[in-house]
Amino acid sequence: MQVNFEQVVLSGTAEDGGLFVPLELPLFEPQEIANWSTLPYDELAYRVMSPFVGEAIPEADFKRLLKEAGSHFSHRSLAPLHQVDRNEWVLELFHGPTRSSKDFAAQLQARLVQYFLRKRQRRGVVLGATNGDTGLAAIEAFKHCDETVVVVLYPQAGVPRDQLQHLQAVAHPRVHKVAVNGSFDDCQTLVSRLLRQWPCAQREVISFNSSNWVGVLAQLVFYFHAVLQLGGGQRPIGFSVPAASFAEVYAGYIAQKMGLPITQMIVATNQNDALHQLFLKNHYSRLRANKTLSPAMDLSIFSNLERFLWELYEHDDQAVSALMGTFESSGEMTLSNACWLQARMIIDSYAVSDEQTLEEITSLYRDTGYVIDPHTATGVLAARLYRRSLVAPMVTLGEISPAKSTALLGELGIIVPTQHRPLEEPGPEQLHRIEHDDLDTLHQLLGAL
């Protein structure tokens, strides 16, 4: 079923329980992309996103919303590049209000949601799962949106201390936190079930996770921005992506289809290597998450894999539905050999251990004075080990500020300014605790909002 951009923004999933995907991708000519080299970030975002938005928002309104979405970032370029080695770079995506890449999608989504809810004169529930950064970014962005209530599910024992302190300190009448006795994957499963069985017809339900198409749109711009900065849109470039979310991988994959000269993508994982096993051995499985030094990557269920499969299988709905059905029932998935080889033409992967992560942080700091967090370290190491070309620049997505890992870095003798945001002022507590499969309690909570 075809829907417009407004309905996509104000949704969790499609009516059949799947994710929204574009019927076709815009294709930009090389010279057109090159002409964007001098544009500020918000203007570039408009050029990249507008074909997906169509006539759903007038041009002036959309440009205003994009400019407002970047207004709380601490760096004037929003996403600066930092060179870490010969032809190797980190794209710093952590200069937003909560110091993670999730701010790009959250700040834009909050403004789009508010714009469309006001147009409809409706209210919404913004719902999602987090193991730290995604939920904090959503809360920060939506707490000023009077038309929405935010419901955040998080694993009771799976959120890093700093992020957990900030989550627990949030005491806002329109923010409800649900501590789940289970893993992040359990939280994701509960959210998926809620989106498919939404009990509150009087409110729109809107996912704040990257299953919402706005998250992919925001991340598309990362790639255009980096390619234009390093090669004016003409020079082939590779990317290394720490796999905290598959949305970044999918966004890079379709950015190449849209005309960017991306020659390689490296998917960097930690010990939780479900994605690495997919690209290495063509076997994807639901695994028990292990705790590591890069906790945002401690998961094995990636919603945007469904969108990626839709592209690989050339928009074959039935084939993708069959694959997702198999994974839902068995927890395992194998791609057709042709599709797996198609993915491997551009995508490589590597699983980085905690020991390698610490060594990469230490050696990079020793050799350059530059500080990275554990998530970025997995990407930087994978980029150096598995880049296919020494000529093409290799860019690692730096998704989380090192200021969020001050305790770990301090143990390594690396002192980083904390840049802590002040904790929220005490207020009415909105914290709930449930078991990993307790959908009934969640229905009761949502029904009372």
Neighbours of 204 (CB within 10 A): 23
In this predicted structure, the answer to whether residue 420 has a pLDDT above a threshold of 70 is: no
In this predicted structure, the answer to whether residue 307 has a pLDDT above a threshold of 60 is: yes
Q: What pLDDT shows up at residue 344?
A: 97
Contact 343, 335 (CB under 8 A): yes
Separation of alpha carbons 446 and 201, rounded Å: 11
Please state, in angstroms and as integers, the Cα–Cα distance from residue 307 to each residue in 55, 167, 178, 434, following that order.
24, 30, 28, 30
In this predicted structure, the answer to whether residue 15 has a pLDDT above a threshold of 80 is: no
Predicted TM-score (pTM) of this structure:
0.93
H or E element that contains 219: helix 213-231
Alpha helices in 71-197 (DSSP H): 102-120, 133-142, 161-169, 184-196
- Bridge partners, 269 (sequence order): 351
Q: Where does 80-99+220-411 sit in CATH, by number?
A: 3.40.50.1100
Q: Report the CATH fold assignment for 5-68+101-213+423-447.
A: Rossmann fold (3.40.50)
In this predicted structure, the answer to whether residue 4 has a pLDDT above a threshold of 50 is: yes
Mean pLDDT (the chain, rounded): 91
Separation of alpha carbons 82 and 92, rounded Å: 7
Range with the poorest average pLDDT among 155-164, 165-174, 368-377, 417-426: 417-426
Three-state secondary-structure class, residue 254: helix
Separation of alpha carbons 98 and 404, rounded Å: 10
Please state, in angstroms and as integers, the Cα–Cα distance from residue 351 to each residue in 149, 277, 345, following that order.
38, 9, 19
pLDDT tens digits for 103-137? 999 999 999 999 999 999 999 999 998 888 899 99
Considering the chain, what percentage of its residues have pLDDT values greater than 70? 97
pLDDT tens digits for 393-412? 999 999 999 999 998 999 99
Separation of alpha carbons 27 and 51, rounded Å: 10
Separation of alpha carbons 159 and 412, rounded Å: 22
Please tell me what DSSP assigns to residue 100.
Answer: B
Q: Which of 254, 307, 319 is nearest to 18 (CA)?
A: 307
Q: What pLDDT shows up at residue 423?
A: 43
Three-state secondary-structure class, residue 78: coil
Torsion angle, alpha carbons of 364, 365, 367, 370, to 10: 90
pLDDT tens digits for 249-294? 999 999 999 999 999 999 999 999 999 999 999 999 988 888 899 9
Q: Range(s) for CATH 3.40.50.1100 in the chain?
A: 5-68+101-213+423-447, 80-99+220-411
